[in-house]
Amino acid sequence: MHRTLLFTVAAVIAVSTAVPAFAQASKDDAVAMVKKAVAAIKADGADKTYPLISDRAGPFVRDDLYVVVYQLDGKVLSHGANAKFVGKDMIDAQDVDGKLYVKERVELAAKQPSFWQDYKFVNPVSKKVEPKEMYCERLDNTAVCAGVYKL
């Protein structure tokens, strides 16, 4: 009886203290995810691809890695971590340091075909504000982006 109780207690402790198992996305993963999204948008069109990008169970979301698409005026067209952002003008969005990260992002996209950007954002897995690096590619009048959280 005591042995069973000890085993049960040990199992509960082990499960309750386990770290969630997910692989930290790499910068290469972010680039590959953006390229996959750009290819899908080109092949299947925005009307078909944007809902897939915004689907948290879809092919453009993996753990803390997800795609977001902005119009170059700052309007969110698709967002893999939070579909509530879709349709919103985020041009004035600031991170915790006051950085206008969407404004900077769309300005960078207007000037160059691809780039990396640093800012801080809420990690959808940890629910904490963390430093993030976002990779973006311009596609017509949009920026297609995916980022990795720095640990």
**More confident position, 126 or 28:** 28
Q: Which residue has the tokens 């990690």?
A: 123
**More confident position, 73 or 126:** 73
Tell me the mean pLDDT in the region 20-42: 88
3-state secondary structure of 29: helix
Is residue 131, in this structure, part of any structural domain at all?
A: yes
Cβ(30)–Cβ(148) below 8 Å: yes
Q: Is pLDDT of 83 > 60? A: yes
Domain that holds residue 79: 25-149
Which of these, 66, 69, 76, lies nearest to 125 by C-alpha position? Answer: 66
Is residue 75, in this structure, part of any structural domain at all?
A: yes
Q: Is pLDDT of 141 > 70? A: yes
CATH number at residue 95: 3.30.450.20
Q: What is the pLDDT of residues 88-120, one digit of tens each?
A: 999 999 999 999 999 999 999 999 999 999 999
d(C-alpha 33, C-alpha 27), whole Å: 10
Number of folded domains in the chain?
1
